[in-house]
Amino acid sequence: MSKQYTISDLAEMYDTTTRTIRYYEELGLLQPKRIGGRRIYSDRDRVRLKLILRGRRLGFRLDEIREMLEWYDLDPTEVYQLREVIRKGDEKLAQIDEQIRDLQAVREELLELRDHMQRLLDEKTREGEKS
Amino acid sequence: MSKQYTISDLAEMYDTTTRTIRYYEELGLLQPKRIGGRRIYSDRDRVRLKLILRGRRLGFRLDEIREMLEWYDLDPTEVYQLREVIRKGDEKLAQIDEQIRDLQAVREELLELRDHMQRLLDEKTREGEKS
DNA sequence: GGGAAAATTGACGTTTCCGTAAACGTTAAA
DNA sequence: TTTAACGTTTACGGAAACGTCAATTTTCCC
């Protein structure tokens, strides 16, 4: 019994706006059903929206995200397409791995900086105790 | 003997453009010395540029990056500033940890998709062999 | 010292990702 | 039934992060 959602259900659920969701549809990232004029979102649509928003948070552009979403519903009998997706997917994986490494580097540096600040702060507060 | 760089040295070194570097200066992220009219970049400037570009790749906005850069040269005698930086740094760390988790999730999903595609492809090619 | 190469400033253009508002139709609740 | 809330399309706007082009310096090299 796949659930149904209105556009504002989803907007609230994922803390975004209806304008944004309609914009994603304009770009072809979502294709909700219509009842009358109104958009009806399935669970599949909901999951796609979730993926889109996560992708955005991670700095991917919307056309990159659209391409990756398309990988999930390509024709599984087209050998050429399969090969292409595997190749592009490997590229994306390499890119993601680098991004993770970069983030871990930033993390380390921030931790060091934090420790440094903490030591300075400790000195200062001990100094204050002496008076 | 701290090295000196021209703007195009740095542009080439980090695969960006002089326009971009000047733009970062406009926003206050870099403050190179001048000799006559021209900009001269020190090693410190170079490292800052490297950090900026890495931050950009990771999806941080330039004003976020500027704030984080400022942490490296604040007044170490100002207890309030120290506390503030530690607090903000902790926030940033939490945010980075979440980003890493998200990226690892995307990574897993891409790997699964890749395996799925690979299996489909294997079936297809075995099918071809039979003929 | 003269000309090519490199750098500078200023202005405007572009792309991405939405926000906002107008003007209108639809649905639900009192 | 009416009225408030919700949804739709269309259009324009706007910030962020640069690209591009033109008009001037500035510098380097022979």
CATH code, domain with B13: 1.10.1660.10
> Where is the domain boundary, B38, B60, B82?
B60
Strand, coil or helix: what is B42? coil
Query: Distance between CA A65 and CA A28 in Å, rounded?
Result: 11
Q: Are residues A45 and A79 in the same domain?
A: no
What are the tens digits of pLDDT across the range A42-59? 999 999 999 999 999 999
Residue B108 in domain = yes
Q: Are residues A89 and A124 in the same domain?
A: yes
A61 has pLDDT over 50: yes
- Higher pLDDT among residues B34 and A71, named by residue: A71
Query: Distance between CA A119 and CA B2 in Å, rounded?
Result: 29
Residue B22 in domain = yes
Residue B24: count other Cβ atoms within 10 Å of its Cβ.
20
B7 contact to strand C (CB, 7 A limit)? yes
The count of structural domains within chain B is: 2
Which pLDDT band holds residue A83 (cuts at 50, 70, 90)? very high
Q: B27 CB near a chain A CB, below 8 Å?
A: no
* Structure confidence at residue B131 (pLDDT): 47
Using an 8 Å CB-CB cutoff, list chain B residues near A89. 110, 113-114, 117
Query: For residue B27, what are the domain limits?
Result: 1-60
Q: Are residues B79 and B111 in the same domain?
A: yes
> Where is the domain boundary, B60, B82, B104?
B60
- Higher pLDDT among residues A81 and A127, named by residue: A81
Q: A111 CB near a chain B CB, below 8 Å?
A: yes
Residue A39: count other Cβ atoms within 10 Å of its Cβ.
19
B91 within 8 A of A110, measured Cβ to Cβ: no
Using an 8 Å CB-CB cutoff, list chain B residues near A126. none
What are the tens digits of pLDDT across the range B45-88? 999 999 999 999 998 989 999 999 999 988 888 899 999 999 99
Section B89-93 average pLDDT: 93
The whole-number Å distance from B47's CA to C29's C1' is 63
A62 contact to strand D (CB, 7 A limit)? no
Which pLDDT band holds residue A39 (cuts at 50, 70, 90)? very high
A83 within 8 A of B122, measured Cβ to Cβ: no
Protein residue closest to D25, using CA and C1'? B37
Q: What is the mean pLDDT of chain B?
A: 90
Count CA atoms closer than 13 A to A127's CA, side-chain side. Answer: 8
Residue with tokens 């500027």: B66
Q: How far apart are the two ends of chain B, measured CA to CA in Å?
A: 71
A39 contact to strand D (CB, 7 A limit)? yes
Residues of chain A by 3-state class (helix, strand, coil), percent to 5: 75, 5, 20
Q: What is the mean pLDDT of chain A?
A: 91
Q: Kindly state the tokens that stand for B9.
A: 């040295």
Indicate the pairing of strand A38-40 with strand B33-35: unpaired
Which pLDDT band holds residue A93 (cuts at 50, 70, 90)? very high
Residue B94 in domain = yes
Section B88-94 average pLDDT: 93
B54: nearest CA partner in chain A: A102
Using an 8 Å CB-CB cutoff, list chain A residues near B79. 121, 124-125
E strand spans, chain A = 33-35, 38-40
> Where is the domain boundary, B30, B60, B90?
B60
* Structure confidence at residue B62 (pLDDT): 92
Q: Kindly state the tokens that stand for A46.
A: 């909901």
Phi, psi torsion values for B104, nearest 5 degrees: -65, -35
